[in-house]
Structure 1
C-alpha cells in the first residue's frame, strides 16, 4: 500500500532527474505508469545538483578554487542545460526584431555575441559572489552546515523561478520543441511538492525575515521577467526558463551575502 502511494512521486522524481541532469538512471517512460508531473520536482533536482557539486568544500582549498570547481561540477551534472537557455535567450530576445525572428534565433545552434557576453558575465559574477560567500563563512562544523544549506537553497530557489513563469505565461515556440513534453501548469499539490524544499532548507540558510525578503525579491524579479517576455515573445519557451534559472542563482547568492553581512 505504501509503495502504491509513494510510487507516482518516485516515478515523477526519476523522470525529472533524468530530464534535468546527466545522471544515468534507467526510467520506464510508458504512459501507463502512474507518476506525478516531473516538472514539480525541479527544485528537488536542485538539491541533488547542489549536494554533489559541493564536494570541493571537503578539501582545504582556497575559496576561489572551491567556488570554480563547484560551478564546474554543477554545469557538468546538468549538461549546461540552463546556461544554454540563457545564451539562446540573450541572442534571440536582444538580437531579434520581432517575435518570429526572436524564436527562430533561439532555435539556432550557433552562438552570437549576446550569448557569449551573457555566459561570460553570468559565470564570472557567480564565481566572484560564491567565492566571497565562502570567504566570509567561518571554517567550522556549523559553517559547513550553513554553506551546504546556502548552496542548496541557491539551486532550489533558482529552479522555482521558471516554475512561476511557466504557471503565469503561455508556452510559445516555432515547430517541434524538446521542452514541450515537460511543460505543465502546476496544481496546488504540485506547488506544495515544489515549495517544500525551499521552505525547509531556506530556514537553515536564512533567518525567517531574510527568507521572506528573498522570496519577495524573487517574485518581483519574476514579475519583471514576465512583463519583458510578454513584450518580446508573448510568452515563454524552454530557453527563457533556463535563463530565469540562471538569473535566480545570481539573485539568491546576492541575498545570501546580504543576509550574512
Structure 2
C-alpha cells in the first residue's frame, strides 16, 4: 500500500477514535462518578477512575426512591410498544410493498405526512381521547400514542420492497395462504429491519417523558425518566446519587443495543440508511 494511503488510513482511525472518545466521554464520566463521593467528584484536578468502586450510591438510590417500580413500568410500556410497532409496521409495510390496491400511494403519502406533525401538536386531542376512554394513569393510556408508528411503516416498506416478489408468487402457486407467506417467508427475511426498528422504538419509548408526565397521576405509574426527574429535583446537590440513578436508567438500553447491534447495523444498511 502506498505511503499516502497508509497515512490517510491512520488519520481516519485517529479521527474515529477521537470522535468515539468525545461521544463516550460523558457516559464514562457518569459511570465513574456514580461510584465516587461528592468530594472526589469535585476534586481538582479531576480524576477519571474512582479511588474505590463502592456501590453505596446505588444502595442509597434504591433506598430513597422506588426505582424498581419505575423500571417495571418502563419495561412493561416499552415491551407493549415494541411488540405493537413491530406487528403493525411489518403488516402495513408488507401491504404497501407487495400488494396493489386503489389509493395505495396516496395512503402511503398520508402516512408519511403524519411524520411532519410534531407530537406536541397532538398532545391535547390525545389527552382528551385518553380521558374519554378512561385510560389516564393506566398502562393502556401510556402506550396509546405509540401503538402504530409511521416511521416503522416506512422502514419496513423500504426493506420489503427489496424482497423478491418471485418468492411470494411461488409460495402462492404452492397453495400457501397470505398469513403463512407472511410468517414463514417475509418475517424471517425481515429480521435485520425488525431489529433496527425494535431498537429505535425501544429508545423512543424508554426516553419518553412528556406523554407519561401528562398521563401518570400517581408515583406508582411513573416511568424511569419521570422517576429520575423527580429524584434529581429532590437531590439537586447530590451529584453522586444523580449519576447513579442516571446510570441505572441508561444500562438497559446499552444492554439491548449490544445484544441486537449486528442485526441493527444490517437493518440500517439494507433499508437505505447506509
Q: Which TM-score applies when normalising by structure 2?
A: 0.25
Asked which structure has the greater CA Rg, the reply is 2
Q: Which TM-score applies when normalising by structure 1?
A: 0.26
